[in-house]
Structure 1
Amino acid sequence: MKMKFVKNCFSGGELVEALIHHLDCGRRKAVEIGKKLARKHFIHHVFGENEFEDGNHFYRFLEHEAFIPKCHNFRGAVNDCEPKAAAAVSQRLACIMSAILETYASDDRSHLDYVGISNSEEFRRYVILVEDLQRINLLSLSYDEKLAFFLNLHNAMAIHAVIRVGDPGGMIDRRFFFAEFMYVVGGYPYSLSSIKNGILRSNQRAPYSLVKPFSSGDKRLELAFGKVNQPIHFGVWNASRGSPSIRFFTPQGIESQLRNAAREYFQRDDGMKVDLAKRIVYLPRMIKWYKSDFGQDKEILKWIINYLDASKAGLLTHLLGDGGSSVNIVYQNYDWSLNS
């Protein structure tokens, strides 16, 4: 048997005894209180293996979880207020971040003034707001609400990460940026990578990674989407110049908003180009990284037609249907420089 050592923990029985003593209640009532504390993420089983039980299972307070020091929406103590409704917090987050874009983003949302954002009243309110995410109940969200929430959270966290960590650098350096900058949300840690690959991409491996974000039994799997919705790739923003432009979404009409984001991206020269003479289609490297989400080459090209303007769609349709030699795909270089 492999032995594991854990710190800052207590047994279920010890908590029950403490509750009986301090609240002057019976054992059954104390156990119910313990279960409520666990459901509301004040305490967790040390290995996440079970709900609260009276006995020898061990638990710890949320603030003693090993991931907490990495969570940038935790400032010394758990927010012990009754959690606000997830939909209301999500809406407030989107409103604050949209106001930030209104003032501190370029007209095409391709550049941000990070210094201005960091000193703004809106960002101060955002930093306070995200503390409300610590014990929020995300299972109450509808599909569209959940999709908008995680897209918006990812993009807002990326802004926060640049302000706190600085320029994340190139692709290799950004691994820390994507994986180590975290929030505690609904009692569990979320990085930029776990939001994109674990939640939005249905727990698929990140490019060049050997493991999935969430292992079997991870509570966060309850929130992962059942299948990949390809346009989400154009709603996720990563603070680089090669990224789709930053935006924040509303649950109402979110599929239409994502389609518009994809169309906007493919309008760019680094998004998609066609060379009829050479029978080459130039695509964003992002599609190569996430090819498992888009399918084989022919499937990719047919899918893209739906997101092109009339000119580009006409060129691509001609290439695919003229009976000539095969169409070659070239993936363009990606600009990892900061979009400041």
Structure 2
Amino acid sequence: MEEMESTPLGRVTVYSILGCPHCVQAKATLGRLGVPVCDVDVGKHPELRARVKELTGRSSVPQIFFNSVHIGGNDDLQKMNPTELERLVHLVMNEPVSSIDAPPLPLESPTEDTSAESDGDFMCERDELASVVEDFKHGSVIGNHRRGLTVHKKSFSGDQLVNWLQKEKGAAAEEAYDTGQALLQKKYMVRCSGKQEDSFGGTLFRLLEDDPSSALNAGQTAACSPVQAAKLSLILRDLILKLFSQHLSADGKFVDYKGMSANPAFDRYCDLAIQLQRVELLSLSREEKLAFFINIYNALVIHGFLRLGAPTNMWQRYKFFNYVSYLIGGEVFTLQDIENGVLRGNRKGIAQLRRPFSRTDPRLQMALPDVEPLIHFALNCGAKGCPPIKTYTPQDIDSQLKTAAEAFLENDDACVVDSGKKEVRLSQIFKWYKADFGGTDEKLLDWVFEHMADSPKKSSLQDVLSAGKTKVSYLPYDWTSNSSH
């Protein structure tokens, strides 16, 4: 009989996602209880998202079931009454999960990790001009050149390049000029002085990898034939998420960034990030642009933490977001450029005096025509429950962003409705970017109401709004870093 009791008959089902600290924390707590945990990754099984939302009324992860009893997210688990918790553990140990109302499991587990597969999809086809660039770097042409009062470091003139191609590569004059134009067009090099219409020979150029901006993916030649932007962003995001998850502490509270930067998989990530230098951006649709820049932003934040440490206050954050950058498609984009310049349709950011891109800035072509307020919930997971999506795809971007907003608003550290005081307390994100949500308290509250999933919180918000004169206040923002060092 005792033998029977020690073999659990039921199960705890946890719907989670890779790289979600709250999911890790919940699973660690359940592990200590000694119950059998069935972990379902809704990132790998998006077909289950709608069903889980139907069962729980929530869009965020984790969602936890003891047999078929839904208890909520990680916060609910941590706050649970010990007697009630003991009763549920007893239930799982002694009763099988009913086949009628059992939480759904994937039909079949994927044979291979999808992120490993997508990484394997990347085959570097060496671009024919990459070898020319490598040889040119080792010639004695690149140096400091003065134009007016400015000294351009690591530069060369069009004439110097053409002469080198004739002398070292045996190219005829016309062929050498065409190769120079191809290097410019394929973004191996960029102008550092002279206007677009100036003669090629007299203009000063710089190899893109020598860009002085200290972009985190500069300093090496992107030697592969350009890869499709959306595909490259998915691979990079999946790679860094996997790395992040491997170095998340057992309680989900800290990330070992030191260990992460020493992991050989991080070198692989950096090699792939170099390929962003020459990626083609101008042909991207709105959906591709959204998915590409959200994925790259989220990956770049982690890359920035690895190189510079995580910011711990407003001033450090301001510096971090204005400094950490990648070279993408021949241009430098800081985190701030991506968020405010591209995804917010070239609007001023916090503490900015002007728009990120001037009228003559070539990056302006990348800006979305209008601000997309939903991006704020895909770029920030500063809440106690994560959206069940970590890597965004162009095919489904709008519904993925709506889900991210729903998941964010479910959290009480992002939105609290106080019916007694007729008050709604919101995350600071709504204060900082109020203009994106309509600009007035009334429009902001309408936006929040419209983007909430059906829930008791939404019903009480409806009651408060219909009573009129709703007060809006803002919750404190948690700046604490999740670094273990």
Shift of 1:261: 0.9
Q: 1:88 to 1:274 in 2, by over 3 A?
A: closer
Alignment root-mean-square deviation, CA: 2.8
Work out the CA distance in 2 between the residues paired with 1:315 and 1:107: 37
Shift of 1:115: 4.4
Q: Does 1:15 align with 2:161?
A: yes
Q: Does 1:217 align with 2:363?
A: no
1:37-48 to structure 2, matched below 5 A, reads 37-47=183-193
Q: Which moved more, 1:11-20 or 1:274-283?
A: 11-20
1:100-139 to structure 2, matched below 5 A, reads 100=243, 102-104=245-247, 112-139=255-282
Q: Report if the CA contact (8 A) 2:223-2:275 is conserved.
A: no
The structure 2 residue matched to 1:227, chosen from 335, 358, 370, is 370
1:94-243 to structure 2, matched below 5 A, reads 94-100=237-243, 102-104=245-247, 112-237=255-380
Q: Report if the CA contact (8 A) 2:346-2:357 is conserved.
A: yes
Q: 1:291 to 1:278 in 2, by over 3 A?
A: same
Shift of 1:224: 1.3
Q: Report if the CA contact (8 A) 2:243-2:266 is conserved.
A: yes
Shift of 1:315: 1.5
Work out the CA distance in 2 between the residues paired with 1:166 and 1:156: 14
Shift of 1:57: 2.5
- Equivalenced residues, count: 333
The structure 2 residue matched to 1:57, chosen from 190, 203, 215, is 203
Work out the CA distance in 2 between the residues paired with 1:281 and 1:269: 11
Shift of 1:260: 1.0
Q: Does 1:301 align with 2:433?
A: no
2:434 equivalent in structure 1: 291
Letter in 1 for 2:465: L
Work out the CA distance in 1 between the residues paired with 2:422 and 2:194: 54
Q: Report if the CA contact (8 A) 1:197-1:206 is conserved.
A: yes
Q: Report if the CA contact (8 A) 1:12-1:55 is conserved.
A: yes
Q: 1:86 to 1:109 in 2, by over 3 A?
A: farther
Work out the CA distance in 2 between the residues paired with 1:207 and 1:279: 29
Work out the CA distance in 2 between the residues paired with 1:158 and 1:150: 12
The structure 1 residue matched to 2:458, chosen from 313, 319, 339, is 313
More strand by share: 2
1:247-266 to structure 2, matched below 5 A, reads 247-266=390-409
Shift of 1:231: 0.6
3-state secondary structure, aligned to 1:270: coil
Which TM-score applies when normalising by structure 1?
0.87
3-state secondary structure, aligned to 1:44: strand
Letter in 2 for 1:277: G
Identical residues among aligned pairs (%) = 36
Q: 1:4 to 1:293 in 2, by over 3 A?
A: farther
1:126-176: CA deviation from partner (whole Å, max 9, x where unpaired): 122111112111224332222111111111111111121113111111122
Unpaired stretches in structure 1, ≥5 consecutive residues: none
Unpaired stretches in structure 2, ≥5 consecutive residues: 1-146
Work out the CA distance in 1 between the residues paired with 2:237 and 2:395: 13
